[in-house]
Structure formats: C-alpha cells, structure tokens
Amino acid sequence: MLISPPFLPTRQDNETDSAWLDRAMSEVADGMYPVARNLCWHGGIHLEAPSVDRQPLPVRAIADGIVRCARPASANQSGDPEHAQSYGGWTDNGVVVIEHTTEIGAAANDTPVTVRFYSIYQHLIEVPRTLRLGQRVYRKAELGHAGYIDGQPNRIHFEIACDNANLQLLIGRNQGQVATEQDGRSNVVFGEIYVRLPSGTPIYTLPEGHRLLDNNPAAQSQGPEPRANAPRPPAQPLAASMSTTIDCYVGLRYAMGDGPINERGDLTVTTYREDGSVCGQRSEAGAEYDIFSRAKAISQAYAAPNQPIRSAVYELLRFGRVINTANETLTPADVPHWRAIIVPTANGTGTQTGWVNLNNQAQGQQVRVFSDADFPHWRGWQLFNDDLSAGDSRCDSDAIKTLLDVDGDHHVTPNERLSRMQDAQVRSKLRHAICPMPSEWNAADLQARWDWLQTTTEENPEPLVGDSYTDFIAHAQALSFEAPQAFAATWRFHPRGFIEAFRYCMWFGLEEFAQCLPRQSLSAADLPWDMARTRAQTHYIPLNRLFQKYKGHSKQRIAHSLAQVYIETGLLRTLFEDGRGRRYVYGAFYGRGYHQLTWAGNYEQYGKYKGIPNQRAPVYSDTRITLTSTHAKDSGGTTMNWSPRYDPAIVGENTAHAAESSGFYWVSKSFRRRTNINRACDLAFNQTSLAFICWLINGGGNGYADRQQFAKYLANMLFDAPPLTGSETYRYPPLEPPADPPLCRTFPPTEVVYTLNGTVNYVAQRPA
C-alpha cells in the first residue's frame, strides 16, 4: 500500500516520518475522533491545512482509487444568517469520497491480500470541476482546498472507513484482541516486530569480557582471550541469573532509513508489559546494516553439515521468524536469536539488562511472534464494538465512556469528555481506536440518527427542541451527500493512526507497481500501460518480497534499488543479460536476476547463502559449463571449477531466486571496509549518492544516465512531495570507467561538480 497524508508539506532534513505527519496532519481540538460534543459519534478528525508563504496547501488523495462522490461546494459564505450552512458559523460542503483498492501482502502461494477502504474529504471550499463520479485518481492528486468549519477557515473533516470483511483483511481480525497463543499472521508483516515472552522465560547475565555463543539455544558463554591473539577458552554452560515474572513483549524496530542520518540503520529494542506500558528501551547502532554478517556468523557457528541456511537465519533476525515459508526453512527450528533486553519488572521501570533467546522453543517457554500488521492490543489497538444501540449517532459504548469518565461515576459530562480528549494519554488510545458507527453524512436516516438530541441526558444537557432541532437537521441535510458504498463501510479508524500504521507497509499493489515503470526512457522503447502492467504482473510479488526483507519500508532505498533493476533488466523485459556474457570474461556466469549477479564467485557465495545443494548428476543449461570447465571467479583473474554446484540458470528462471540473489548482493556488498548498500541509500537522495550506488552495482558507467533518469522518475512516484508533470532537465556528476572513479573513492564528497545534463519525463500514462 502506497499511502500519504491529505496535505504534503516539505519534509525537513533528518525529520522522522512521525514528526512530519504531525505537521502534515495538524488536528483541531474541536473535531476529534471518535466522539464529539454531546457524546455523539464522530467518524473522522478535523485538520487545519498547513501553509507555505501564508498560502494553505491543497487537499490531496491519500492513495490511488476511484471517485465515489465529488460535489463542488455551494455558494461560499452566504450572508444569510438563516442559511442552513450558517448554523454555528459558516461550514463549506464541498466533498470528495474515494474508494481505494490495494494490496498489503501475499500468502506463501503468492495469493495477494487485497483490501478496500474509503477516504472522505469533507468541508472543501473548492473541488475541481474536472473531478467526476467513477473517475480514477492517483495518490497525491489535488482534490481541492480546505474550507470553513463553524466559521473557521482552512479546515477539513477527514475520515477513513471500511466494511467488516475488509477490517478482517486490514488488521487480521474483526473482533477481540490478537490471539497470543499462536504467531501473528505471516501473509502481512510490517513495522515493529514483537516477540512474546511468557512468564518464567530465563534471562542471562554475561560476566565481563564474555560472549554468548550464537549456536546453542541453551545459553553458553566463552571467556575472553587470556592474552593477545590467543584462542578463547572452551565454552561453558551459563546459568540463568533470573527469569521473567510477567508475560511481556520485546519489540524490535529497525529504523529502515528513517530519522537522523546517523541513526538510519539502528535497531531499537523495547520491552513492553502486557498492558503496553514500556518497561525499558535500548538501542543497537547499525544493527540493521549488520543482519547479513550476523546471520552468516550464526550459521558458521554450527558444525558442518548441520549449518542452518543463512538466508533463513537472516529472516529470523529480521522478522523474528521465517515468514517466506515457501522458499525458506530454518533447520534446526530452534536456532537461537539472542538479544540484550531491558528486563521487565512487575512494577516500575526496568533498569537491568539481560540476554534472552527470542527464538526459545523449549516446552513452557515457547515464544510467539507478531508485527505491527497484527494491530496488537498491547500497542493500544482496540475494537470498540460494544455499542449495541439501534444505529443512532449517540455513542453508547461503555468502553469509550469508561475511557472518558473522569471521576469514575459511570457518567460522562460534556466537560469530562472535553478534558479527557485533550489528555495526551487518552488521545493516544483514541488514535488506536477502531469503532463501528453510522455515517453522519447519510441523508436517508437523519431523523433516526439524531432524534435523541431532543431529549435531555447527562451527555446532552441542553436538548435541541423546536426550531433549534429543525435548523440542526437542515444543516445536517446541507452537508449530506450520496455515497452508498462508503455508507455501507461502518468501521472507522483514526485517520492519523491508520496512515501512520500503513506507511510501514511498503507492499506495492499490482497497479501501484505498474505505475513505477516509466512510459519513456533512454534505454528502451516506449512502454505502453498494458505492457507495463503485464511485466508488473510477473514481477511485483517477488520484488515486494525483496523490498520487505532487504529494504524495509524505505521509499528511498526502494527508489535506489528499482533504478538499478530497470537498467539491469531492460525495464523487467528479461532476467538474463543480453548477449549471455559471450563478449565478457565472466562468460557463462553472466548477469542474471534483478540486479544481474555476475562472476562465478558471486554465484558460489549466493549458493552458500541460500543453501542450494550440489547436483548429484550435474547438468547445466549453459553448455560452457561442464564437469571439468573452469570459470572466472572474479575480476581479479582467479578461476574456479564450478561442477557439481547448482545450475546458475535458476537465478534468471525463478523469480524467487532472482529476488533473493539481488537482496543477497545488496546487503553483502563490501565497500569502505563495511557491507550493505543500504548504508549509501540512507544518505541524502541525490545524483551523487545515486552515482555511488551505480558504481557499487555495476562497477562502471554502463547505463549510468538511465539510472539517474529512473531514480528521478521513481522519486516522483514514491516520495511524498507533490507530483511533478511534464519533463525536467537536470544535471548530474560524471561517472566513467575505470571501476574505481575518483567520485567513489571520496564518497560522500564535500563538493560535487555536476556537469552532465539529463532529461526525465514525469508523465505517467495510466488508466483514466
């Protein structure tokens, strides 16, 4: 799902996504979710449009979709105090409703998880006349401008809704809490990973200078070297120093390129109690960048031939378990995942650090693993579906009332509601509230929904009677609109909570991915929409798995990666290098896969990473590979015999291998005495960093101009800046062979001279 907020202010350097969303979605205190004055249901939030140079930003579509309602605002600011829209101060009634259908994951058999939801933009002062019912619109498209609410300018009512079936798909359930006796869902995984530790989980403390061995689920430690360069003493069993006294969760949140530039590869490890309160938190600098090297070390700590497959260990460290079960198997299943955590205490804040096995499979101590995609209750997500009234607009949820009840007398006065909803802790809980309620915009049932306002209650101490009620109904009628599909979607999310959650889900839907293939480029003939969609159909799921495992939710990393994929594969035309390497020294080990793995040595290392077995009776698709043939191992002139290893053709024939080989190369690539190309991706996104990554992938200037062009196009599609149209001429630094140009030796440079001109066409031909 590609999703963004309805306003797009410029992102500041080093600004976290959460901080940017705070500026993009500035909530107004008198229009909060999920209840308003009189304790009536309020399905959305009121937002004030951010301004640039004192000009409010336009309202934009949060995701691709189809317009289900588009109504221009009626005459603005009528001077007639009796006008229905003047009730309580002028309120604009321009509205747009969009139905969004996208994907958020896929099952092991590649069946996509397709979801549908609705976004509603109400109180617009202006709606483009070109916007029409049934029209397809795209993320970031202008929908108009914020209008007046109760006499206050530059404001909109914004809400997100879905039906019961899609609630099940979006959050993995439609009632109750997450079932913690089993792992969370594996077809949709994103955001923070949570490992549930049952009470009684053993915790270990390492003596000073000792290290914990990675190859045994029973804790073993090894002492320091007795003297410089001497071997460490034999490993010794390590007794638990304590055990947990409560059930708790250990959260693993990789930064994935977000935040300050020097923290974009960090891991934050948080210990949560069952109620979601934080016991303690610690950080591991650069831990995400080092997953590959740690997975390799864990595998090699086992004696051959019992070494677990490194790519499966990578998933264990990345997701807390193997989620791509069709292509990965963790053997043995109890490969340990040791982490230092803040030890939970039953009361108070934990301060002591201890080691715990996050893949503990021992009887009575077995862990369970979840992610933000499970919308876990310990992170505040709650379904408030206890209002069993007859479909009116009054909130009769005891759970909501209990949350808002200040003095505990089971009654919620207007002042209590207002004070509690302005409390930071309560607002955080309400941001994670998912509530069923009738739409406030449906004219067909106005009387049935609002009749209770004529009755005096503790929540409604000043009832509307006579003309007051008549005027209110006329006002509600003036704001109502026709959108039966949206009205049938009765579940509401806090819009900020929904958008923030699903921005961690960078799983492309088929249509979203097809748009990322440019219609025009330097390296290929024009790519019509139908052809782009056909290519996307073949490749978008394996590429999504590549991004999920090796790039996370970083749009910047994905833009860098796809810019390289496009030139290597001819815009996904082929997974085999044109010419099959017949003009090059690497010969039969020519480029295959999404990043075109080359050289026999790289194929050898990929085979070790994936645990691909040798053939018993070797047969190779490329006749240049025989039982006795030798091949260039790398560019240094070393040769090697290949047989009886696997047939390298699988890297180009099997899209799962095409993706995994690309991920392997990306995170294992060594440069500047470090590994992982994501380190370069997480620097500023510009032509200089792209030049460096081009060199890391290709070793020279082949297709360099195309890669620059593709990156510009992808940034326009993926990033959260307003979309550009037409063509742009830009400048970028030169990059020419030999393989180690001065630019890359000094990267990141203090000064770059941009001397080459490029042109990119931002026009994306898409279905109307």
Extract the runs of DSSP E, i.e. beta strands, from 572-726: 630-632, 639-641, 670-671, 674-675
Contact assessment for residue 202 and residue 240, using Cβ atoms and an 8 Å cutoff: yes
ω before 207 within 30° of 0 (cis)? no
Q: CA-CA distance, 247 to 261, in Å (whole number)?
A: 35
Type of residue numbered 85: Q
CB 572 within 8 A of CB 531: no
C-beta of residue 232 within 8 angstroms of C-beta of residue 222: yes
3-state secondary structure 127-186: CCCCCCCCCEECCCCEEEEEEEECCEEEEEEEEEEECHHHHHHHHCCCCCCCCCCCCCCC
Give the CA-trace dihedral at 641, 645, 651, 657, to 10 degrees.
-140
The model's pLDDT over 242-295, given as tens digits with 9 standing for 90+, comes to: 999 999 999 999 999 999 999 999 999 999 999 999 999 999 999 999 999 999
User: Which long-range contacts does 688-693 make (Cβ < 8 Å, 24+ apart)?
Assistant: 688/733, 688/743, 688/747, 688/748, 688/749, 688/752, 689/560, 689/748, 690/560, 690/563, 690/732, 691/732, 691/733, 691/735, 691/743, 691/744, 692/743, 692/744, 692/747, 692/748, 693/560, 693/564
Q: What is the pLDDT of residues 558-567, one digit of tens each?
A: 999 999 999 9
Q: Whole-prediction pTM value? A: 0.95
Amino acid identity at 549: K
Residue 710 CA to residue 570 CA, distance in Å, equals: 12
Residue 388's CB is within 10 A of a number of other CB atoms, namely 8
Q: In whole angstroms, give the CA distance from residue 647 to residue 670.
A: 25
Residues of the chain with pLDDT under 70: 78, 390, 736-752, 764-765, 768
Which strand (E) or helix (H) includes residue 472?
Answer: helix 467-479
120 close to 127: Cβ distance less than 8 angstroms: no
Q: What are phi and psi of 674, to 5 degrees?
A: -135, 170
Cα–Cα nearest to 668, from 725, 717, 605: 605
Q: What's the token pair of residue 188?
A: 């949709």
pLDDT score at 209: 87
- DSSP state, 102? E
CB atoms within 10 A of CB 251: 23
Domain 17-175+379-502, classified CATH 2.70.70.10, yes or no? yes
Distances (CA, A) of 187 to 169, 275, 318, 654, 746: 10, 26, 15, 21, 43
Q: Is 247 helix (H, G, I), strand (E, B) or coil?
A: coil
Pick the CATH number of 510-761 from 1.10.530.10, 1.10.150.570, 1.25.40.10, 3.50.30.10: 1.10.530.10
Q: How far is CA 549 from CA 254, 269, 500, 514, in A?
A: 12, 19, 20, 21
The pLDDT tens digits for 568-618 are 999 999 999 999 989 899 999 999 999 999 999 999 999 999 999 999 999
Round to whole Å and give the CA distance between 614 and 619: 11
CA distances from 394 to 37, 414, 450, 506 (A): 10, 13, 8, 37
Helix (H) or strand (E) holding 727: strand 727-732
Q: Answer positive or negative: Cα dihedral of 122, 128, 133, 135.
A: negative
Give residue limits of the domains in the chain.
17-175+379-502, 193-374, 510-761
**Amino acid making up residue 579:** G
Question: Angle, to 10 degrees, between the axis of helix 414-421 and the axis of helix 424-431?
Answer: 80
